[in-house]
Amino acid sequence: MRGGLKRLRESTPWLKFKKQKIGMISLVILLVMYLSILFEGFLAPYNANTKFKTKSYHPPHRIHLFHGNKFLGPFVYEYEMVNPYFKTYKVNRNKIHRIRMFVKGDDHKIMFLIPSKIHLFGTSDGGPYFPLGTDRLGRDIFSRIIFGGKISLTIGFVSIFMALFGGIVIGGLSGYIGGITDWFVMRSCEVIILLPTFYFFLFLRSILPSDITPARKFFYITLILAIPGWAGSARGIRNWVLSLKHADYVTSARIAGVSPFRIIIRHIIPQIRNILILSITLSIPGVILGEAGLSFLNLGITEPSVSWGMLMSSAMDINILLQYPWIIYPAFIIIMTVFFFFSLGYSLKDAFDPKSGV
């Protein structure tokens, strides 16, 4: 890979991409989001399942700087529950918790390896601080959003790669072999594409047993989400294989005795690399939304795992939502992620398009 990075930096698509501000910002933000998965325990003030029994539906804390006229730096007042039935709170102006960087708190592992107690921020005396409030069981929503990113963000990638792998193998060989095989494979792909995606998810999910371990559940859900994507990418890749199959250099490779699978991997896929990158970028939001939808209906990721869709499922009841509006915050992060993926995708599309402005 010598000089690979240099070649990328000098390549025309990259030069064009650099000029697209929104795309560049999206790329940076998405990279930060994915990186933060590694430091989830450090970035979140609490662990995902740390419960504060007396702090059910706690509203988001307001950050203050002045106590009366005295400057204290950032701090919060403690909220005390006044009505345990309706979960209403009032501010106790006498109890102050200062917010500090790098405080000790729950145990976690940095990059899933190094045990640590240090958190990026928290209160200096261990008192509660909920930037975005808590849910019914008194768990910090901000921390749960950060922990939820692990599943929600990776499920997009993993299932798109599963879909792509299936697509390359099935679409590639189908196009390469051609004839009746190709006809049948393509018709079945079309049937899968025609099915309404979300109901198809629901159907597949309903076949699964409900008493399985969280890890297996994650795997199955990923697989379910990959299936429609598989059919779509198989069709796309097959079309490319068809158009490149008769390219002289492919014929030349056949004469040289290169095997069909290797021809697809070495001679055809590299030509469509840009298109693959683009289709991955534009497909991930769909999968993220799919997972969110399933989990929202309690059919996807379930407790004790955390995902963004699952976090939103607590907002399903309109009465609860009206009373405790902060439980909708996880929806914003989903919308933002989807938005950034799309704007990254469209910037890439412009950058890869040889006809777009120079």
Residues that bind another protein (CB under 8 A): 12, 15-16, 183, 247-249, 251-258, 266-267, 270-271, 273, 358
Rounded to the nearest whole angstrom, what is the least distance from the CB of residue 234 to another protein in the complex?
20
Please say whether the beta carbons of 195 and 126 come within 8 A: no
In the complex with another protein, the residue whose CB is nearer, 16 or 108, is: 16
Q: 258 or 336: whose CB is closer to another protein?
A: 258
Bin 103: left if φ > 0, else alpha if -120 < ψ < 50, else beta. Answer: beta
Residue with Cβ nearer another protein (14 or 112): 14
In the complex, minimum distance from the CB of residue 283 to another protein, in angstroms, rounded to a whole number = 23
Please, which residue, 182 or 291, has the CB nearer to another protein?
A: 182
Q: DSSP readout, 162-216?
A: HHHHHHHHHHHHHHHH-HHHHHHHHHHHHHHHHS-HHHHHHHHHHHS-S---HHH
Q: Are the C-beta atoms of residues 138 and 52 closer than 8 Å to each other?
A: yes
Residue 255 beta carbon to another protein: minimum distance, rounded to whole angstroms: 5
Strand partners, 101: 121
Q: Which residues of 45-65 are buried (b: 16+ CB within 10 A; e: fewer)?
A: bbbbebbeeebbbbbbbeeee
Alpha carbon 168 to its chain centroid, in Å, reads 23
Least Å distance, CB 31 to another protein, is 25
The minimum distance between CB 262 and another protein, in angstroms, equals 8
Comparison of 98 and 254: residue with beta carbon closer to another protein: 254
CB 34 within 8 A of CB 153: yes
